Structure 1
């Protein structure tokens, strides 16, 4: 049975009509008319508080958006996702990142496989590895304990672990052998070259993280790392008993859905961790891709991260739509993008530990929902994912907030901060200073969202203002407060945004679990690389690409005659 296009359904058309009048209302009017907006539009779950009162909507708007969610069958879609049905239609498979954080006593059988058992077998294998590192028992080829681990991955194999290890650095256990974790993702080798200049090959191990184990960025870095280790551990005054197989076994761990390719590359089967085809790369930090996280914070805190995400999964599944944090956050985005024509979204954490959170969400949201065809392959007639970017809020205030306050383009903002920080610092004087700095940070967070909302009305009237000092306000925002930044609340926060993406994709009738758009660039890059190596001709190249290639050739040193 065919359904009318999304933008032709009754709930969508009703919202279009509603937006024609509602879109002209200023937030300061909405607050003046409704003194209890905070309590009306604020919800709590899993250690998070979500304040949506600064969105440019009314109770009627939200009711109509909830009708839209029902019309799009969001509750049924949530059930299909969590039950392991094949929601990734273009690749005909489930999207079961939520299974990675199910507790051990849960049961989820999908197509005859007990997923929970296999997930926890991998977690147990990870735990054994982590314990060996933290006990100083994982030794390099020359017998010295590993002290530095370099994660070689890109996209989801880099952004998630990088974001979480930075966010949870305070949770590093202090009673274990210290292992420092580093990340190299760029194919140009600049990050890796810096590490190789500073690290000791005898005490360095590399984690190769690639779902397919064919990602050229990662394998290029991996080959460089392998040759570096061999040159230094096998060349010159090589030690007795150190051979190539020992170097490969003790200095490499592989994480992939392709054990055959890992083994072919030289990674010992005992040092391989399983990754499943039903987990998208940008949804993968919860499993073996999270090994760098566990190496930094310990396995107990890694399991706490999973528990926080699972708490949000349960809330997503069980809470009514009107109280459901992922649903409400998604609907705010739908209202802004599709009905208020706000196509830009900024993520603004007010906590230095969340420095990489915006970069993580850039991939999660734009790779997932940056789509222009429906699940049936038809062109969409409406906007989908907005352009998303961000930075630490205190720094961004001195960078791009000028555009937010006085630019010509409306931008939706997400402000994120912990309610409490530094109250556990032992020294009283230091604690008072640091807690004062946290209050200063929160003051800036709340003041900026208020200024974006009210504009000039946020300050006492001091007479007419020249145009360059006018603030129009009326910029919508959401504020997310974490009780504290812990493994549990960070897990819930990430899962919140994952589910927000899914709800929006369901309403837009697009697939958030594939990324075919990145494949064309990979194909053309391979072709262009062969030309740059002079292994193929320039025939068929456009004039610009031809000129750029010839400019590179002209700059290359000529081989000796």
Structure 2
């Protein structure tokens, strides 16, 4: 990979001219984008125009209802969620708008006490059960938009870690009787939210709560979860459309329902996303911020993802944003095959936390170490008005100074970086920020000729996990004869090429005292002997 230093070799006036030519700003949204320090210039962007003509045409077709995920014969319609009039048919447009209205009305009635867990009570908490985008999207909404004392406090089952579940349930305690439990699963059959739902229901009912007055489902119409919620007369059901993927579901019920339950303005959130969508449809590359973003990624990484994306938002409220982008970017772009079936191993790794914390963590390596990354700075200009300067020191000034100082230090060493600036951080600007990255990911996927809307690797992992759980069940059944077995005996009995998977399963079962004893040395697997007690 040939380094393309963004500043060294350019005199200050030339750098200023490059900055002016590659700076995008929208006054209405209050958003700036500067990609002038990414090894990209006007001539390089012009040279990419043929690729972008194809990419933008593909995005136009996607919004018009083309099949974007041929693996599942699915459309990709998250853009319609914030502009229902763009949906390919009037019925879909009406359905989208009706769901937004229902979500808003439900949230307001929960907060007002009109919807309650029992007469004379009010909901005090929300337990959100979702995995992947169904967990990260809501978490981002809450961390970024919830003000102290506004709406309901949220708790999460976003994993199947029993210790995490135990701690969450313990923190709720008696308030489980007044906790709104929201279960999110698009297909209705994903194991993690189903397991979380079972544990939550047991805990709610053990605490004296009423599941049917506290449980809400967010899923596709007609799914296993939808049927269970309908037959069980749950409190509410909201649609998670077939044409919305988990990593782009934040402007669906997945993000809107928590948004209204924390007292945020979900209409403003959708408005911000719609405004950015409109800006990123522009076929003039210099006026399209998503095209500028995708072009800078492509240029910096040689079109092969040879530089990682380090995300540094300089606001605590955006601390979760790097985790959110990990799924959006890496699940979309990390592909073995391109659209022609050729092995390409594409991708773009994402990591980060927040500034200025990370200046005291890994910025040392970013400036002086291996040059295999670019930094995405995110700043917010307006500070909260209730944190005054003390002893002449203003925290916001220092935060801005640290950002500009780190940016300058990296540029001096020829390290690639770009900057996104928000006038203020609110529901509108968060919607715009998310929509900017969604479109940039779609455009970049077209530039490198991969399908950004399927996830065969994720599905492969799910299938492998299911196979191992099936093997565990068969293993426990085979050992019920209470005879002693070595790993070699069990390998032959189970018809496996290697005993390694059995070793992992048995270690877990023995550690949890699941009716299997072991003697021997776990560090020397061939000495181990197992028996069902």
TM-score normalised by structure 1 residue count? 0.83
Give the aligned partner of residue 441 of structure 1.
399
> What's the CA shift for 1:269?
6.2
Q: Distance in 2 between matches of 1:333 and 1:542?
A: 43
Gaps of 5+ in 2: 479-492, 516-531
Give the aligned partner of residue 225 of structure 1.
200
> What's the CA shift for 1:85?
1.8
Answer yes or no: is the 8 Å Cα contact 2:187–2:223 preserved in 1. no
SS of aligned partner of 1:43:
strand
Give the aligned partner of residue 51 of structure 1.
34
SS of aligned partner of 2:418:
strand
Give the aligned partner of residue 292 of structure 1.
258
Q: Distance in 1 between matches of 2:477 and 2:467?
A: 10
Q: Distance in 1 between matches of 2:166 and 2:297?
A: 41
Give the aligned partner of residue 545 of structure 1.
501
Q: Distance in 2 between matches of 1:98 and 1:57?
A: 28
Give aligned pairs, total: 492
Matched, 1:431 2:388: yes
SS of aligned partner of 2:68:
coil
Give the aligned partner of residue 215 of structure 1.
190
SS of aligned partner of 1:149:
strand
Q: Structure 1's 31 and 372: CA in aligned 2 closer, same or farther, altered over 3 A?
A: farther
Q: 1:108 aligns with which of 86, 95, 101?
A: 86
SS of aligned partner of 1:484:
coil
Answer yes or no: is the 8 Å Cα contact 2:314–2:355 preserved in 1. yes
Gaps of 5+ in 1: 1-18, 235-246, 455-472
Matches within 5 A, 1:321-340: 321-338=285-302
Give the aligned partner of residue 196 of structure 1.
169
> What's the CA shift for 1:219?
0.8
Give the aligned partner of residue 60 of structure 1.
43
Matched, 1:499 2:450: no
SS of aligned partner of 2:306:
coil
Q: 1:265 aligns with which of 228, 232, 238?
A: 228
Q: 1:516 aligns with which of 456, 468, 479?
A: 456
Answer yes or no: is the 8 Å Cα contact 1:312–1:495 preserved in 2. yes
Q: CA RMSD, aligned part only?
A: 2.4
Q: Distance in 2 between matches of 1:308 and 1:355?
A: 20
Q: 1:365 aligns with which of 324, 329, 339?
A: 329
Q: Structure 1's 260 and 87: CA in aligned 2 closer, same or farther, altered over 3 A?
A: closer
> What's the CA shift for 1:474?
0.9
Q: Structure 1's 431 and 33: CA in aligned 2 closer, same or farther, altered over 3 A?
A: closer
Answer yes or no: is the 8 Å Cα contact 1:108–1:114 preserved in 2. no
Q: 2:271 aligns with which of 307, 324, 327?
A: 307
Q: 1:99 aligns with which of 80, 93, 104?
A: 80
Matches within 5 A, 1:345-360: 345-360=309-324
Answer yes or no: is the 8 Å Cα contact 2:298–2:304 preserved in 1. no
SS of aligned partner of 2:93:
helix
Answer yes or no: is the 8 Å Cα contact 1:141–1:251 preserved in 2. no
Q: Distance in 2 between matches of 1:27 and 1:263?
A: 55
Answer yes or no: is the 8 Å Cα contact 1:410–1:475 preserved in 2. no
Q: Structure 1's 446 and 543: CA in aligned 2 closer, same or farther, altered over 3 A?
A: farther
Q: Structure 1's 169 and 217: CA in aligned 2 closer, same or farther, altered over 3 A?
A: same
Q: Distance in 1 between matches of 2:76 and 2:304?
A: 31
Q: Distance in 2 between matches of 1:80 and 1:186?
A: 36
Moved more, 438-447 or 536-545: 536-545
Answer yes or no: is the 8 Å Cα contact 2:66–2:75 preserved in 1. yes
Give the aligned partner of residue 128 of structure 1.
105
Give the aligned partner of residue 115 of structure 2.
138
Q: Distance in 1 between matches of 2:365 and 2:179?
A: 45
> What's the CA shift for 1:248?
2.7
Q: Distance in 2 between matches of 1:31 and 1:416?
A: 26
Q: Structure 1's 115 and 339: CA in aligned 2 closer, same or farther, altered over 3 A?
A: closer
Give the aligned partner of residue 80 of structure 1.
61
Q: Structure 1's 251 and 550: CA in aligned 2 closer, same or farther, altered over 3 A?
A: same
Answer yes or no: is the 8 Å Cα contact 2:188–2:226 preserved in 1. no
Q: Distance in 1 between matches of 2:278 and 2:170?
A: 47
Q: 1:475 aligns with which of 404, 415, 422?
A: 415
Answer yes or no: is the 8 Å Cα contact 2:5–2:415 preserved in 1. no
Q: 1:182 aligns with which of 140, 155, 160?
A: 155
SS of aligned partner of 2:280:
helix
Answer yes or no: is the 8 Å Cα contact 2:304–2:347 preserved in 1. no
Q: Distance in 1 between matches of 2:340 and 2:207?
A: 55
Give the aligned partner of residue 388 of structure 1.
350
Q: Distance in 2 between matches of 1:232 and 1:541?
A: 48
